[in-house]
Structure 1
Amino acid sequence: MRRIIALIVTLFFFSKEIISQTINENRKKIEAVRVATPPKIDGNLNDSAWENIPIANNFVMMRPDNGKPEPSTHKTEVKLVYDDDAVYISAMMYAPEPQKIPAEFANRDNFANTDFFMAMINPIDDGQNPVMFIVTAAGVQLDAKVSNGRNEDFNWSAVWDSAHKILDNGWTVELKIPYRALRFANEKIQSWGMNFHREIRNLNARYTWNFIDNTQGSWTQYDGLVENFENIKPPTRLSFYPYASAITKTFDGNTEFNWSAGMDVKYGLTENFTLDATLVPDFSQVGFDDVVLNLGPFEQQFTEQRQFFTEGTELFTKGRLFYSRRIGAAPIRSPQVDNENETLVKSDDKVQMLNAIKISGRTKNGLGIGFFNAITDKTEATIQNNSTQEIRKETTNPFSNYNIMVLDQQFNQNSAITLINTNVTRVGDFRDANATGLLWHVEDKKSTYNIDGSFKMTNISDDPTEPNTGYAFDTSIGKHAGNWRWEIGYQFENKDYNPNDMGILFSNNEQGVYGFVGYQLLKPKGIFNNYSITWFNNINFLHYSGTYTGTNSSLSFFANTRTRFSFGGNLNYRTESKDFFEPRQGSTSGIFFNRPERLNVNHWGSSDYRKKMAVDYNFYFTFNRQIISDVDQMSYGFAIRPRYRFNNQFSLIYGLDYSKSENQFGFVNSDDTHIYFGQRDWTSYNNSLTGKYTFSPLSSLSLSFRHNWSKVPYSQFYELNQQNGMLENTLYNGEHDMNFNSWNLDLNYVWQFAPGSQLIAFYRNSIFSSNENATQSFFTNLENLFNEPNQHTFSLRLVYFIDYNDLKNVF
């Protein structure tokens, strides 16, 4: 172990000395041309700036038939010029029947049923970290950052200009990419990695200027080269996003009104590093969480929807040490109330974030550096003495600081060594936490074989004199190129490893050997565009005692046909296993629940989204061997999501999910000497509806609705035998039936009235209900739900984009 860590540390500090290799040996090249008068961005390619300019042409198919030349009917010609302010790109995309080009509207950064053109730009030409600028045939803009050659971040947004035209012989697009949207060196002459993509939906094909070989490496390693940009200088990258918002909430007859104002700031500290700051943040318009009834031993994980935490965080999310929902979550402590003598008057259920900053970037030698810091306010509970009427305050979450530091050295266009540290410091006698991770992903020159892994350490201190230190290790070796792919690895987390103050981990004190082997079709064959079949296997043990806990095995299949029908399925098997977490006694207690053998089969399918009507579906069936005589355990369910596109502006998607578990056994209660389980039926319904009406690429109305209902009646109770993990009859008879409802309806109007500036009107109707009436019908439950208090939320938010360079020119 020490030798491995020493080797990785050595690679981290000396990897920039390794000569960069590339699998893109025959890259195409064109000359960058400076113009005195830039083209007008209107979709017309008749500007003098486009005359006598080198053409990027002869596109090659990326998928499905990798390497096939573009057809003569769908030629693509791209030109590029530049001046002191921006790069300008034009594309002429020929098509024999332009009136049939799919051109569905969508919100910004959302794909739809439409053709599109993409410019992928990598000024440092490192084969791993380009940015993408996309314009659809409906004129919708999308942009994204790519990190490590595989992770696309569409939450990243830049301010740039584009226009398109549908012509008699195809369609055109023009882009203006200001230098403020890019990070590049301050050098007199430089060349940038670039590739251009064209999606042709009717042909179900993607073509690229520089050929992308799908048998090896990452698609970002196959950029062409645009040479000889001369005398361009990075501008002052300083922009402001001041905002003002007003919000009103009505619940159970009471109405509250609030307003706020603040600002986000982006500042280019150097040509490669950017500071992002949010001052007095406002997250009142984030989407709702998909809350479900949770009877398991682990918390439910929610998707991050706050833009500051989703944009440009690729460095900070490495190693699963940063779960951003920890910041601004519930207080770390519950108020201590003497129920006989005191009454809880008020207690804050959310922690307020005061501000946050992040600094990130990458040097020309491939060293990524990230710094993140957030500060949250103190929360208190108000408690009243019933006799004296005195009020006391109790701190449930102190003033806290969240911090991350990251060093990420990339090399050879396919490998990286990362060092990351996270720290949570809380004022007073609350716990502090620190986590450090060393991560590695190293590939050979041809990007065929890789070694991937991490070593992590956590330190938690309620008492500074008695720190609690834990460790985790994971490493694997595999082949991820070509038709046949495989991986084998080993991982463990010891009993004290706990990154959950700032990260997320459901269980520790585990170790296991894991691996897979699979085959994938890389070129169309028969009715298939592609397919893959993979076998996975995990053998699991406790780390502390070495106790064998069980084996999981899975056979999966995925396919996509030439007619764009996608389908697949899994056959999953689990041996009889020891569950040390369901009894809620801690994995080192030696107490476990003996789970029976389990067999699961599932299937899913998705029809052609190019058609007006399309359907996604899935179903599953699971059977468990008996653990109580004459009791068969099984679960089954299905989901169906039809979608209909009325026209290019209006579409709806309905979803129905149903699942039922019969005779499921799970923890219900415990005392000092007994652990009780219950036998239950668990039925869940999830109805959802999403829709959008897009007035233009800059104005849209969207709907999101979800109703989740779960009912769990208990039929019998058992006591867990703490020696063998089996269930035995008991006289215990508690009341644990559950009837759970979560209802949310969001209506959102967005108008981009100027580049980077938005007016957003938002309405939400939400209802939450949890009781013990678990035997009622669906419609009776719905009727009772509507009798519960509704919360109505309406907010209006105005965000205005100000660029320092424009402001400077005005004055």
Structure 2
Amino acid sequence: MAGYCLLAVSSVCAQADTTTLPQRTYQTTRVGDAVPVIDGHLDDACWEAVEWSGDYTQWEPFNLEEPSQSTAFKVLYDDRNLYLAFRCYDTEPHRIERRMSRRDGFAGDWVEVNIDSYHDLRTAFSFTLTAAGVKGDEFVSNDGGNWDTSWNPIWFAKTQQDSLGWTAEYRIPLSQLRFAAGREQVWGIQSTRRLFREEERATWQPIVLGQPGWVSRFGKLRGIHDLEPLRQRELQPYVLGQVQSAPVDEGNPFSKRNTTRFSAGLDGRLGITNDLTLDFTINPDFGQVEADPGALNLDGFRIFFSERRPFFIENRNIFDYRLTGSEAGGQYDSDLLFYSRRIGGPPHRQIGNDPDIDYYAE
């Protein structure tokens, strides 16, 4: 009898894990000449062209139950941008957690949209905005198995707080997304809100906690018509000048009071096709890249630093594999077959600190 009871329980658990919930659909429309002003105030007349979509459900801690606070969003688009508006209701607006952090810090209350513009049910582009206005962005691959925070696209967003809660506005250039040409686009879409004080996350498309997959369970975004993919064309030249001044050594005929040095280079990104991008750099400097946070190493292992240089970020997910089954989070969810941070660093021998890297292409 005990064996039969155990079998029955296992059967119920397996059935719960494979529950399929109805797929939701959001219908958007093309905006006219009067596009939204991205200031966090949802008072632009163009937002009246589409309906609010809400009815979020908890993802955690109480899966599929009604969330503590309501959330709703709208989507518009034109030939160059995707626009989103979020209304995050809060019955206790004084308790909204507004925390400043670095980019991709995900601190405090935040709202997020994931867009599967390929509609391949495997990859997505994630855009997160905290109540304090701090942006976070990730490239999602392997159906949610990998979340790459080193992907830093160009997009614009603002937040505002009022007596009803807080609001957010997005403008995402379509050049930062990838999609195929077609008369009608059908994209996957998911929105998540985090309520910090309750440690609560609610999603627009309900998802059963513990089910495998993430992107494959998105809702659908419809209403996008006659949209041509925009090819990325980014050129970032730089000119660097350096002057060193030191007292002259009277006994040294080679001593100079002032030493000058000039350098120039170019970083570029060209979209060749929808799936192929050429990244190149000539005489790279990477001086504009965000510095690594400070770290104190007290053991014998090297400190892992994530890649932040734009040249090495494009399509880096092709090197991500889930071989060990690690659930450590972040970069440690993947077995890094290629660690690009070793490229361009100071050589580990006494020949100076100049890596002499003049040309790279991928």
2:150–2:307 contact (8 Å) kept in structure 1: no
Higher helix fraction (1 or 2): 2
1:86 to 81, 84, 91: 81
Residue pairs, 1:473-488, within 5 angstroms:
none
Residue of structure 2 equivalent to 1:458: none
Residue of structure 2 equivalent to 1:54: 51
My pick for the range that moved more, 349-358 or 165-174, is: 349-358
Once the 2 structures are TM-superposed, how far is the Cα of residue 243 of structure 1 from its aligned partner? 2.9
Once the 2 structures are TM-superposed, how far is the Cα of residue 262 of structure 1 from its aligned partner? 2.0
1:23–1:221 contact (8 Å) kept in structure 2: no
SS in 2 for 1:49: helix
Residue 269 in structure 1 maps to residue 307 in structure 2: no
Once the 2 structures are TM-superposed, how far is the Cα of residue 137 of structure 1 from its aligned partner? 0.8
Alpha-carbon spacing, 1:94–1:250, altered in 2? closer, same or farther (3 Å): farther
Deviations 1:720-763 (A, max 9, x none): xxxxxxxxxxxxxxxxxxxxxxxxxxxxxxxxxxxxxxxxxxxx
1:290–1:302 contact (8 Å) kept in structure 2: no
Residue type of the partner of 2:45?
A: S
Residue of structure 2 equivalent to 1:281: 284
* TM-score, normalising length: structure 2: 0.78
1:70 to 57, 60, 67: 67
Alpha-carbon spacing, 1:201–1:163, altered in 2? closer, same or farther (3 Å): same
Once the 2 structures are TM-superposed, how far is the Cα of residue 215 of structure 1 from its aligned partner? 2.1
Residue of structure 2 equivalent to 1:260: 263
State the distance in 2 between where 1:161 and 1:288 align: 24
Alpha-carbon spacing, 1:46–1:328, altered in 2? closer, same or farther (3 Å): closer
Residue of structure 1 equivalent to 2:352: 348
State the distance in 1 between where 2:344 and 2:240 align: 19
Residue type of the partner of 1:353?
A: I
Residue of structure 1 equivalent to 2:105: 110
* TM-score, normalising length: structure 1: 0.36
Residue of structure 2 equivalent to 1:162: 157
SS in 1 for 2:67: coil
Once the 2 structures are TM-superposed, how far is the Cα of residue 153 of structure 1 from its aligned partner? 1.4
Higher strand fraction (1 or 2): 1
Residue of structure 2 equivalent to 1:128: 122
State the distance in 1 between where 2:280 and 2:176 align: 17
Alpha-carbon spacing, 1:348–1:176, altered in 2? closer, same or farther (3 Å): same
Residue type of the partner of 2:177?
A: L
Residue type of the partner of 2:357?
A: M
Once the 2 structures are TM-superposed, how far is the Cα of residue 49 of structure 1 from its aligned partner? 1.3
Alpha-carbon spacing, 1:260–1:109, altered in 2? closer, same or farther (3 Å): farther
State the distance in 2 between where 1:158 and 1:123 align: 15
Residue 45 in structure 1 maps to residue 42 in structure 2: yes
2:88–2:165 contact (8 Å) kept in structure 1: yes
State the distance in 2 between where 1:84 and 1:277 align: 27
Residue type of the partner of 1:276?
A: D
Count of residues in Structure 1 that have an aligned counterpart in Structure 2: 318
Residue of structure 2 equivalent to 1:26: 22
Once the 2 structures are TM-superposed, how far is the Cα of residue 322 of structure 1 from its aligned partner? 1.7
Deviations 1:368-425 (A, max 9, x none): xxxxxxxxxxxxxxxxxxxxxxxxxxxxxxxxxxxxxxxxxxxxxxxxxxxxxxxxxx
1:80–1:87 contact (8 Å) kept in structure 2: yes
SS in 1 for 2:215: helix
Alpha-carbon spacing, 1:322–1:45, altered in 2? closer, same or farther (3 Å): same
State the distance in 1 between where 2:105 and 2:259 align: 34
Alpha-carbon spacing, 1:34–1:24, altered in 2? closer, same or farther (3 Å): farther
2:232 to 237, 244, 248: 237
Alpha-carbon spacing, 1:99–1:261, altered in 2? closer, same or farther (3 Å): farther
SS in 2 for 1:106: coil
Residue of structure 1 equivalent to 2:4: none
Alpha-carbon spacing, 1:240–1:217, altered in 2? closer, same or farther (3 Å): same
State the distance in 1 between where 2:298 and 2:240 align: 33
State the distance in 2 between where 1:330 and 1:236 align: 35
Once the 2 structures are TM-superposed, how far is the Cα of residue 311 of structure 1 from its aligned partner? 5.4
Residue pairs, 1:252-651, within 5 angstroms:
258-283=261-286, 286-287=291-292, 300=302, 302-307=304-309, 308-310=311-313, 312-318=315-321, 320-329=336-345, 347-348=351-352, 351-358=355-362
Residue of structure 1 equivalent to 2:326: none
SS in 1 for 2:227: coil
Residue 119 in structure 1 maps to residue 113 in structure 2: yes
The sequence identity of aligned pairs, in percent, is 31
SS in 1 for 2:182: coil
SS in 2 for 1:231: strand
User: Which structure has more RCO (C-alpha within 8 Å, separation ≥ 6)?
Assistant: 2
Residue pairs, 1:670-749, within 5 angstroms:
none
Residue of structure 2 equivalent to 1:141: 135
Residue type of the partner of 1:315?
A: I
Once the 2 structures are TM-superposed, how far is the Cα of residue 121 of structure 1 from its aligned partner? 0.6
Higher Cα radius of gyration: 1
Once the 2 structures are TM-superposed, how far is the Cα of residue 320 of structure 1 from its aligned partner? 4.1
State the distance in 2 between where 1:130 and 1:357 align: 25
State the distance in 1 between where 2:293 and 2:205 align: 42
Alpha-carbon spacing, 1:152–1:200, altered in 2? closer, same or farther (3 Å): same
State the distance in 1 between where 2:243 and 2:56 align: 54
State the distance in 2 between where 1:106 and 1:292 align: 23
Residue type of the partner of 1:116?
A: W
Residue type of the partner of 1:90?
A: A
State the distance in 2 between where 1:289 and 1:108 align: 15
1:304–1:310 contact (8 Å) kept in structure 2: no
SS in 1 for 2:317: coil
Deviations 1:557-581 (A, max 9, x none): xxxxxxxxxxxxxxxxxxxxxxxxx
State the distance in 2 between where 1:192 and 1:132 align: 13
Residue type of the partner of 2:237?
A: P
Deviations 1:28-60 (A, max 9, x none): 012121121322222222222111523221101
1:283–1:306 contact (8 Å) kept in structure 2: no
State the distance in 1 between where 2:299 and 2:244 align: 27
State the distance in 2 between where 1:94 and 1:292 align: 43
Mind listing any 5+ residue stretches in structure 1 that lack a counterpart? 1-21, 335-345, 359-811
Alpha-carbon spacing, 1:145–1:349, altered in 2? closer, same or farther (3 Å): same
SS in 2 for 1:39: coil
SS in 2 for 1:202: helix
1:287–1:305 contact (8 Å) kept in structure 2: no
Residue of structure 1 equivalent to 2:217: 222
1:213 to 208, 214, 219: 208
